[in-house]
Amino acid sequence: MFNFKLICKDGEARAGEMATAHGTVLTPTFIPVGTQATVKTISPMELRKIGAQIVLSNTYHLALRPGAAVIKAAGGLHQFMGWDGATLTDSGGYQLMSLAPLCKISEKGVGFQSHFDGRRYFFTPENVIELQGEIGADLIMPLDECCSYPCEHDQAKRAMELTCRWAERSKKAHHSNAQALFGIIQGGLYPELRVECIKNLTSLGFDGYALGGISVGEAKILTYELLNECLSLLPEDKPRYVMGMGTPLDLLEGVKRGADMFDCILPTRYGRNGTAWTSSGKVIVRNAENVSLFIPLDESCECYTCRHFTRAYLRHLFSVNEILGMSLVTYHNLFFYMSLMAGMREAIVKGKFQEFYNEFLIKNKEVENV
C-alpha cells in the first residue's frame, strides 16, 4: 500500500514520489498542520486548491478529544475531517515534552494528566500504535521521548536509548499494511547520539525516517549542522522527514541537504497573526504603512488572496478583528509554501536546484534575520 520512489537527485536535493492509500505525494513536500483534525481557518476544499497533498494531525490531541473510538466510528480520519488526501499522525511525544509537569516517563510508557480536564492517561508504544490504527492515518509515528533545549548529554542519551527501545516495541505492535510506520531519530544536538540512533532504527527497517527534536530553541546554524550530520546517513530509498522545521529558508536549506518532508505551524500561526510570507520577504499586515496601500500582499503571487484583495483591505480586517483576515492571510501563506515546494521540485528535476537556491537567497529578505 505504501511505497516511496526516488525519481532524481540534484546534489543532495531529492525529488520523489510517495504512494499512500489516499493518493501519491510528490516530494519534497510541506505538510500543513491540522492538529485537531482541522487546519485552522482553512477548509479541506481550500487545501486542495492551494496544492496540499497531505495533512498532519496529532494523536495526543485526538485521543483526548474526541477520542480515537469516535474517529473510527466515523469511518476514520479522512471521513471524519472531510479530507481525501494523505494524512499523517504524530505520536504526541513533543506535546508530552511540552507538558512535562503533567507527565511521568517510565520504561513502560508515559503517564500524564490531560491539560484540559485533568483526567489521567497512560500512553505506551503499543497503545499509541493501536490508537493511530483506529484514527486511520496513512503515515504514523511511534512514541518517542523528545528532549527540550538545552539538554545535557546524559539526558539526551537516556531519551535516545528509550526512544530506540520504544521504536522496537512499536515495530512489533504494527501490523497494518495500510499504514506506513516511520522511525523517529532523537539525540538532542549531539551528533554521536543521532548517529547511534540512526544505526539502531535503520536496523529495524521502518518505512521512513524522521528527525525529531528539531527547532526546539537552538540556533539555526546548529539545526543545519545536525541535518548535515544525519540526512546523508539515512537510506536513500526511504522518505526523510524533518519534523517541526518550517520557515521558507528552513525548507530550502533542508531540501538542499536531502530532506523530503516537512511540517510546521508557522504559516498558519503567522497567518492568523497577520504576517505574510512573500517572494521578497515578510509583510506585517497590521503595519500602518498598509492603511492605504492598494496592492496585493505579493504582486507575483497568483493565490486567491493576492488576486482579489489589497493590503489596505487586509489591514482593515485585522484592525477590526474580522476572521476573514486570518483566513485570507493563512490561505496566502500556505499557497506560498506549496508554490515554494513545487518550485524546488521542478528545479531538482531540471538539474537547476542551486540556481533556484541562489535566486531565493537574493530575493528573500528573510535571510537578513538569520
Using one digit for the tens of pLDDT, what is the confidence trace for 290-344?
A: 999 999 999 999 999 999 999 999 999 999 999 999 999 999 999 999 999 999 9
pLDDT at 368 over 50: no
Domain co-membership, 136 together with 280? no
Domain co-membership, 333 together with 286? yes
Does residue 101 form part of some domain? no
Catalytic residue among 10, 90, 138, 298: 90
| Cα–Cα distance for residue pair 317/300, rounded to 1 Å | 22
Three-state SS string across the chain, please? CCEEEEEEEECCEEEEEEEECCEEEEECEEEEECCCCCECCECHHHHHHCCCCEEEEEHHHHHHCCCHHHHHHCCCHHHHHCCCCEEEEECCHHHHHHCHHHEEECCCCEEEECCCCCCEEEECHHHHHHHHHHHCCCEECCCCCCCCCCCCHHHHHHHHHHHHHHHHHHHHHCCCCCCEEEEEECCCCCHHHHHHHHHHHHHHCCCEEEECCCCCCCCHHHHHHHHHHHHHHCCCCCCEEECCCCCHHHHHHHHHCCCCEEEECHHHHHHHHCEEEECCEEEECCCHHHCCCCCCCCCCCCCHHHHHCCHHHHHHHHHCCCHHHHHHHHHHHHHHHHHHHHHHHHHHHCCCHHHHHHHHHHHCHHHHHC
Does residue 119 form part of some domain? no
Does residue 100 form part of some domain? no
Query: Exposure of 82 by Cβ count < 10 A (0-12 exposed, 13-18 middle, 19+ buried)?
Result: exposed
pLDDT tens figures, 268-283 = 999 999 999 999 899 9
215 compared with 183, residue with greater pLDDT:
183
Intra-chain end-to-end CA distance of the chain, in Å = 41
**pLDDT-based confidence at 357, cuts 50/70/90?**
very high
Residue 241 marked as a ligand binder: no
Among all chains, which residue has been given the C-alpha cell 510528490? 26
pLDDT at 370 over 80: no
Give me the residues paired with residue 98 across strands. none
Residue 254 marked as a ligand binder: no
Cell of 146: 523528545
| Cα–Cα distance for residue pair 325/285, rounded to 1 Å | 10
**pLDDT-based confidence at 100, cuts 50/70/90?**
low
pLDDT at 99 over 80: no
Identify the pLDDT of residue 365. Answer: 64
Residue 84 marked as a ligand binder: no
| Cα–Cα distance for residue pair 349/13, rounded to 1 Å | 10
Domain co-membership, 185 together with 284? no
Identify the pLDDT of residue 95. Answer: 80
| Cα–Cα distance for residue pair 31/90, rounded to 1 Å | 12
pLDDT at 207 over 70: yes
Domain co-membership, 287 together with 213? no
Our answer to whether residue 10 is catalytic in this structure is no
Domain co-membership, 258 together with 278? no
Domain count, the chain: 2
| Cα–Cα distance for residue pair 86/178, rounded to 1 Å | 12
Identify the pLDDT of residue 114. Answer: 87
Domain co-membership, 257 together with 340? no
**pLDDT-based confidence at 366, cuts 50/70/90?**
low
pLDDT at 96 over 80: no
Domain co-membership, 258 together with 331? no
Specify the pTM. Answer: 0.96
Instruction: Give me the percent of the chain exceeding a pLDDT of 70.
Output: 98
134-159: average pLDDT: 96
Residue 175 belongs to domain spanning: 3-92+125-264
Residue 136 marked as a ligand binder: no
Residue 91 marked as a ligand binder: yes
Q: Which candidate, 235, 211, 234, places its Cα nearest to that of 223?
A: 211
Domain co-membership, 250 together with 310? no
Identify the pLDDT of residue 258. Answer: 98
Residue 53 marked as a ligand binder: no
Domain co-membership, 311 together with 336? yes
For residues 184 and 197, is the Cβ–Cβ distance under 8 A? no
Identify the pLDDT of residue 115. Answer: 81
Residue 93 marked as a ligand binder: yes
Does residue 366 form part of some domain? no
Our answer to whether residue 90 is catalytic in this structure is yes
| Cα–Cα distance for residue pair 185/173, rounded to 1 Å | 19
Residue 186 marked as a ligand binder: yes
pLDDT at 243 over 70: yes
Does residue 97 form part of some domain? no
Catalytic residue among 10, 260, 263, 298: 263
For residues 219 and 226, is the Cβ–Cβ distance under 8 A? no
Domain co-membership, 258 together with 157? yes
| Cα–Cα distance for residue pair 99/121, rounded to 1 Å | 13
Three-state SS string across 243-264, please? CCCCCHHHHHHHHHCCCCEEEE
95-112: average pLDDT: 85
**pLDDT-based confidence at 94, cuts 50/70/90?**
confident
Identify the pLDDT of residue 93. Answer: 79
Residue 332 marked as a ligand binder: yes
β-strand pairing of 139-140 with 180-185: parallel
Whole-number mean pLDDT of the chain? 95
